[in-house]
Structure 1
Amino acid sequence: MATGNQQVIIVGPAHPLRPGGITTFNERLCKAFIQSGYQCSIWSFSLQYPSFLFPGTSQFTDAPAPKGITIRSVINSVNPFNWVKVGMQLRRSNADIIVVRYWIPLMGPCLGTILRFVSKKKGVKIICIADNVIPHESRIGDKQFTGYFVKPVDKFIVMSRQVLADLKQFTNKPAKLIPHPLYDNFGTKISAEEARAHLIEKLGLPIKQEDKLLVFFGLVRHYKGLDILLDALAKTKDPSIKLLVAGEFYDKAQPYFDQIERLGLKDRVIIHNQFIAEADVKYFICAADCIIQPYREATQSGVTPVAYHFEVPMIVTNVGGLPEMVPDNEVGLIAEPDANDIALKTDRFFEMGKAYFLPYLLNYKKKLSWDVLVHEIADL
């Protein structure tokens, strides 16, 4: 619990930017700081990505702002004059702790410049929560941008061993591994029957109450391996298993539709090519017998703590930090990132049954607390 008037400023995306994993995380962390007695606010982006670099339909949401937290949309990621202005404003603030999110090297010049102004002020600690240090999809300048960013940061928090190892390539500053807390802000758990009824009646999705249902949840990008999963689905021994793909395509969608046609999976795959609003998340997750993450590569995944919150078991691939969060044969199953093994583990999951995994889920989710993260940041 904080004493006095300790102030924390979180630097990273927040409402009205769309509620993806990092936006949701920042808003939930801000509430956790406030609940622990800190004064906390978020300094977000007025422009996060130029439109030509953003693959989705919109960067913004029409949903109401989260209650009880202050968000300032002040950072322009491509305007160096803005970086100087925001850096000076942040330096003049009364913050004791700056918590900055780092998820893509593209933000390195912007955030690194802003933090250089703050780092010159005595008594302020800059803590970075690093989601990715080496990105899933590399671009020219990644290493230089990350190298520039890390210099003004005092200490780091990572949420997987993979990111910790990647970070060591850039700095020897103190870093601590903390498990990703639960996303508990999407509502309470509902039954699979209620969730499926909503998807059927409200969204018109062609699923049935009796279906054996895998759910691939989140934005569709090449590194997430949906194409591998489709090949795996065609190889399962049980032809009654269906797959619901719930998320907006950031890749071209047509090759996936062509693959579904070629594999004869039209009756087994349901595509919901839309960004999932925060209010609908619980319906897609709770409708699942299993959340499946067939990623080619990963650091950690924001989908995993959502599945934990709603107590839905997972099949994840043995890449990056995914196995750290999903103990094999307990919270879920771990497969190699190839179609044959994913098919094998999918069949095994339905042979074991969803109920087998529930006691383990209930036990492990107790360890994934926002209070733990707040305490560790303050401790650093």
Structure 2
Amino acid sequence: MRICVVGPTYPYRGGISHYTTLLVQHLRKAGHWTRLYSFTRQYPRWLFPGKSDRDPSASPLRTECEYVLDPVNPFTWWKLCRKIRNDAPDLLILQWWVPYWTPSLTIISRWIKRNTDIPILYICHNVMPHDGGGVLDRRLALTVLRQGDAFIVHSDQDRVRLLALLPNELVVRAQIPTYAGVATQSVGVSAETIRRQFKLPAQRPIIMFFGFVRPYKGLEYLIQALPHILAKLNVHLLVVGEFWSSPEFYARYAREFEVEHAITFVNQYVPNEELQPYFDLVDVVVLPYISATQSAVVQLAFGFGKPVITTRVGGLHEVVQDGVNGLLVPPQDEHALADAVIRFYENDTAAMLQAHVQQNHRDMFAWETLVQAIEQTQHKLQSRVHTK
């Protein structure tokens, strides 16, 4: 099969960039001719909420691609369309996650639909943005997605949301595959190096919150849970990730609940070669999300063999199985969160969960499964054309 994919890849950072790169690698591994078109830039600097959208990794995850698309330069949209038409693929894969992409993706999709017979598959990382979901967000999503011929989502929640917008469309749910492939060799960096750098306690268990710190991720509830945890366990909380909201907001929570001594904040994006040492340091990853569809951080944790404690929101419970590869609690409930952390360290629960993750995560969340879902979807679209 001939496939064109449009999406971020190196030098851009983050979960969707890694997802795109790994997807293209596995499509090629499966024998499909696959051309990746990426961005000459993603966002104007003033619009990006983080420090930079560039990956600082010394050993980045990368794959062959052509940089064409600038989402604020319409001339590049036409250029991309013509390249895709000349490639004559059997399938065009576009990706949707935030309304910012509405103008460029709408025009590109419409042009392809009007000027070619190429079917369009949208991979929807989020049908609605994490911090949105209002009338405007629904209209923008509908404007783009109505141009698609089929869709892949990563949670039942997003499948329901998408079918509410487009009731008669072909929507396939497929889990986010493992992010173990993001790990690169740690050169000169070890868990002990990081422990010394941030003066982490040597004899205390460490739990970790990992990823961009944004309001919907509920870090404040983990901080509120700490006094209850510390009453039973002498643990240390390591918060690792670039803050997209005020660091002082969370520091104030730590002071208010008198747990500053038990928290270390690492306000930075972690390059690929340092991922393994951070995960080697900790026993469990705790993600107290208030809302979510799915989470690449969960797959990153599993990829490094770590269980996850998280909340029953969105599609997280479809991946984190309570008592099997992690523990689940209600959202916005610091007492339940504290109880889960305490329970994790009791009665060999930690060893049992970790053993299951390490033995099963690659088979449960294989990229081959997503590739097969794409192949089957393309065959269904092809069958529709032949029966018309």
TM-score, structure 2 as length reference: 0.89
Equivalent position of 1:210 in the other structure: 203
Does the 8 A contact of 1:75 with 1:82 survive in 2? yes
What runs of 5+ residues in structure 1 fail to find an aligned partner? 1-5
The reply to whether residue 294 of structure 1 matches residue 288 of structure 2 is yes
Does the 8 A contact of 2:292 with 2:314 survive in 1? yes
The reply to whether residue 107 of structure 1 matches residue 101 of structure 2 is yes
1:215 partner SS? strand
Does the 8 A contact of 1:27 with 1:66 survive in 2? no
Equivalent position of 2:77 in the other structure: 83
Equivalent position of 1:177 in the other structure: 173
1:169 partner SS? helix
Does the 8 A contact of 1:132 with 1:299 survive in 2? yes
Counterpart CA distance in 2 for 1:13 and 1:233 is 37
Q: Compared with structure 1, are the counterparts of its residues 209 and 94 closer, same or farther at alpha carbon in structure 2 (3 Å cutoff)?
A: farther
Counterpart CA distance in 2 for 1:67 and 1:349 is 33
Deviations 1:52-73 (A, max 9, x none): 2211111113446867732222
| 206, 215, 218: which one aligns with 1:225 | 218
| 188, 191, 199: which one aligns with 1:196 | 191
2:328 partner SS? strand
Deviations 1:116-153 (A, max 9, x none): 22223555221111110111112773222211111221
Deviations 1:229-262 (A, max 9, x none): 1001122232411110010000011111111112
| 93, 96, 99: which one aligns with 2:90 | 96
Counterpart of 1:231, as a letter, is: Q
2:180 partner SS? coil
Counterpart of 1:350, as a letter, is: Y
Counterpart CA distance in 1 for 2:347 and 2:18 is 33
Equivalent position of 1:374 in the other structure: 371
Equivalent position of 1:8 in the other structure: 3
Deviations 1:318-370 (A, max 9, x none): 10011110110111110111111111111111114421213422235412111
Counterpart of 2:204, as a letter, is: D
Deviations 1:275-319 (A, max 9, x none): 111111112222211001100000000011111111111101010
Counterpart of 2:226, as a letter, is: L
Counterpart CA distance in 2 for 1:167 and 1:137 is 17
Q: Compared with structure 1, are the counterparts of its residues 67 and 159 closer, same or farther at alpha carbon in structure 2 (3 Å cutoff)?
A: closer
Shift of 1:10: 1.3
2:122 partner SS? strand
Counterpart of 2:174, as a letter, is: I
Question: What's the Cα RMSD here?
Answer: 2.1
The reply to whether residue 158 of structure 1 matches residue 153 of structure 2 is yes
Matches within 5 A, 1:220-299: 220-236=213-229, 237-299=231-293
Shift of 1:168: 1.2
Counterpart CA distance in 2 for 1:65 and 1:206 is 26
Counterpart CA distance in 1 for 2:135 and 2:75 is 23
Counterpart CA distance in 2 for 1:93 and 1:329 is 48
1:135 partner SS? coil
Counterpart CA distance in 2 for 1:355 and 1:15 is 36
Deviates more, 1:178-187 or 1:116-125: 116-125
Q: Compared with structure 1, are the counterparts of its residues 206 and 291 closer, same or farther at alpha carbon in structure 2 (3 Å cutoff)?
A: same
Counterpart CA distance in 2 for 1:323 and 1:50 is 36
Equivalent position of 1:3 in the other structure: none
Does the 8 A contact of 1:188 with 1:310 survive in 2? no
Q: Compared with structure 1, are the counterparts of its residues 97 and 365 closer, same or farther at alpha carbon in structure 2 (3 Å cutoff)?
A: same
Counterpart CA distance in 1 for 2:92 and 2:372 is 15
Counterpart of 2:94, as a letter, is: V
| 339, 352, 375: which one aligns with 2:334 | 339
Counterpart CA distance in 2 for 1:234 and 1:100 is 45
What runs of 5+ residues in structure 2 fail to find an aligned partner? 378-388
Does the 8 A contact of 1:106 with 1:142 survive in 2? no
Shift of 1:101: 1.3
Counterpart of 1:208, as a letter, is: P
TM-score, structure 1 as length reference: 0.91
Shift of 1:195: 4.9
Structure having the higher helix fraction is: 2
Equivalent position of 2:51 in the other structure: 57
Does the 8 A contact of 2:308 with 2:320 survive in 1? yes
Equivalent position of 2:353 in the other structure: 357
Does the 8 A contact of 1:223 with 1:295 survive in 2? yes
Counterpart CA distance in 1 for 2:184 and 2:56 is 22
Counterpart CA distance in 2 for 1:22 and 1:346 is 29
| 321, 326, 329: which one aligns with 2:323 | 329
